[in-house]
Chain A
Amino acid sequence: MTPKPKHSTTGTTAESADISSSVDSTAAHLMVAHLTVADLKSSKSRKNRQKAVHAGLALAAMVSVAVSGFIVWSLISEAWTFIVEVEWSQIFNIGWFPRRGIYDVSTLLTATLITTAIAMLIATPLGLGAAIYLSEYARSSTRAFIKPILEILAGIPSVVLGFFALYWVAPEVIGRISDNSTGSLAAAGVGVGILTIPLIASISEDAMTAVPSSLREASTGLGSRKTATTLRIVLPAAISGIVASLIVAVSRAIGETMVVFLAGGAGDTALFTSSPTDSGLTMTAAMASLASGTDNVVGEGLTVQSLYFVGLLLFVFTLLLNLVANRFVSRIQEKY
């Protein structure tokens, strides 16, 4: 008797398994006599279902491509009207007053730069510190406790950070170092920074845990201390992931809307300022404030189009940053 396959299967597949493992040629002959090529083929309905499912899934995957297409189309078609029709003297003016036809983009860009810089000043040390601690120093029980807490911070909606930045950061932190204790670019920047801490922490921690432990062991074996191993071996090995986390955080900070909208302290207009403790409008806040007026997006001439123009700028900036970050991430994936 031939040894039966261990797994018990049913139907034709079991019989064919028997054939292949069988040395009993008569039995095999008997089987083959019953089986024709048609039996081994899938039924027509089974094949059709295959095709239908394949087509359906491919169609679903195309949706995301279509979404990208629509985003680019909507931004460019409306922004183009703005670019063609706007008077360029209004692009370089005293500030951002879209309903009066004054569109000084540098006001928005400067404010965005200020909030992003402050956000990164807050988030980089805190996020990296947490990541290094969790990856290199923390015991597994500590990790199991801290990581979910960071995930909770990551899950907090940005309106909540906006509220916090306006009512707690602005009076308690910014108000103590300046005269402005209501909304300001600095308060908004701190809020955005808090929002990006978990982003930096999780991406760079992933990068550091991906560093093979053999590197650490070799370093320790040569007599390095923990600090030297961390700073001279692990960090350089994980650098592309860490850089990627910082780039992603910058991109997130540039695109963050609600925190700067609520805590930036400006209405839907702003004079040019380069002082962090002033109130101001970033690109995103300008878009949100323009759209949230009682009349929604209505205004003189090119007001609506200016919205799409700012949106296009924002889209291009974040896209470039994300492409660079992707490069860095794929580099670390190739290495280990």
Chain B
Amino acid sequence: MAVTFGRVLDNKTSTRIEREVASAIKRQGSDWKGNTFYTLLLVMLVLTLFILAVLIYGVVADGWDILTGWLPSFLGGTLGSIKAFEGQTLGVQQGLAGSFWIAVFVALLSFPIGIASAIYLEEYAPKNRFSNFIELNIRNLAGVPSVVYGLLGLFLFVEGIPSITGGRTAASAGLTLAILVLPIVIITSQEALRAVPATLKEGSYGVGATRWETVRRQALPYAAPGILTGTLLSMSRAIGEAAPLILVGAITGFLGSNPSIVDPRQLDDAFTAMPILITGWTQNPMPEFRVAAAAAIVVLLVFVLLLNAATIYLRYHFEKKREA
């Protein structure tokens, strides 16, 4: 028996009222708006994952004949016509060679210059208008469309200093892409250096170390995983980039020589690269070249995704280690 508003209620009524009050407070089962919103979000996410799955499936399915049929000779083959496809001498070796040398340029130029810039901006530069200008400038460079870097490469390296680069060569392409990823290397290295605890640096100064000694012995080792992540990311960006190479004059049709991938003599010669090769074959209306393009995409994706996987692993690994 319960008493409500001075009235005596029987057990049944009081339980009913209790339940109503409880459900009014919890508002169970009535949140259709919230449920719809949640479902909507989930649909968006699943759709995104679905698109990625279809993309991977589509590329692998299109390239299946080559990937399961004659992958080894495809990896060692050259640019060519439909006859080359039928004779299984078509392939990606020239593209791999071009992309390899582009990667070498990026590693030798962008990494040192980029990391040095980041150190200067984070550890040395006075906080004034000029350093603000440099920072803003770098952020804007990171947003410049890649095709504009192609124009820069065409103007500066192909037509500006052909006596050094040899014109439309792998060297020009490497220089152009090294410039293109420079802002990415700088920004990610800056973020890594900014995350170094101030106590670490103060301790180093406290025992009499100079600024450079502090940077080299304390800040750089601490920031190394972050910097490495940035460099790997920029490398994967560089080997997947096609638009600037088209402007610099990469070859999509036929390329005479097929030297071994690491032969540096090809640097002052006409060149192609993986994304360019894919572009050329995708544009070719013959269905055989759709297969070739898809197979080449799978080869490129293996490299790009390995680099990305390495960065993701590094980041999560070190985040966990720092937290511990």
Interface residues of A (CB under 8 A from B): 9, 12-13, 42, 46, 49-50, 53-54, 56-58, 60-61, 63-65, 67-68, 70-71, 74-75, 78, 125-130, 132-134, 137, 144, 146, 148-153, 155-164, 166-168, 194, 197, 201, 225-227, 230-231, 248, 251-252, 254-258, 261-262, 284, 287-288, 291-292, 294, 296-297, 307-308, 311, 314-315, 318-319, 321-323, 325-326
Contacts and interface: CB of A to CB of B under 8 A. Distances in A.
Contacts of B154: 291, 297
Interface string B173-212: 0000001001100100000000000000000000110111
Given A50-B211, A148-B312, A61 B117 contact: yes
Nearest to B294: A163
Nearest to A296: B249
A288 B116 contact: no
B240 A291 contact: no
B282 A74 contact: no
Given A60-B113, A164-B58, A150 B308 contact: no
B151 A308 contact: yes
Given A160-B55, A164-B59, A226-B34, 9 more contacts: A46-B210, A56-B116, A74-B156, A261-B246, A284-B147, A287-B147, A315-B145, A315-B148, A318-B144
B84 interface: no
B227 interface: no
A158 B240 CA distance: 7
Contact of B247 (A42, A197, A288): A288
Interface of B: 31, 33-34, 37-38, 40-45, 47-49, 51-52, 54-55, 58-59, 62, 112-114, 116-117, 119-121, 124-125, 134, 136-141, 143-152, 154-156, 168, 179, 182-183, 186, 207-208, 210-212, 233, 236, 239-243, 246-247, 249, 252-253, 275, 278-279, 282-283, 290, 293-294, 297, 300-301, 304-305, 307-309, 312, 316
Nearest to A315: B148
Nearest to A138: B45
A13 B247 contact: no
B137 A65 contact: yes
A307 B112 CA distance: 32
Contacts of A125: 44
Contacts of B182: 63-64, 67
A78 B160 CA distance: 13
The 7 closest A-B pairs by CB, nearest first: A129-B44, A255-B145, A157-B240, A60-B116, A74-B155, A257-B243, A57-B120
A325 B143 CA distance: 10
Contacts of B139: 322, 326
Dominant secondary structure at the A interface: helix
Given A159-B279, A251-B143, A258-B275, A314 B243 contact: no
Contact of A152 (B134, B243, B305): B305
B183 A64 contact: yes
Contacts of A231: 37
Contacts of A225: 31, 34
Contacts of B282: 159, 162-163, 166-167, 262
A314 B152 CA distance: 13
Contacts of B186: 64
Given A254-B145, A326-B139, A296 B168 contact: yes
A22 B7 CA distance: 84
B1 to A, nearest CB: 33
A61 B249 contact: no
A13 B290 contact: no
A66 to B, nearest CB: 10
Nearest to B146: A257
A258 B269 CA distance: 24
A64 B134 contact: yes
Contact of A159 (B51, B120, B208, B278): B278
A126 B144 contact: no
Contacts of A144: 316
B212 A49 contact: yes
Contacts of B304: 155-157
Contacts of B179: 67
Contacts of A308: 151, 155
Nearest to B243: A257
Contacts of A49: 212
Contacts of A252: 143
A157 B152 contact: no
A71 B316 CA distance: 37
B124 A57 contact: yes
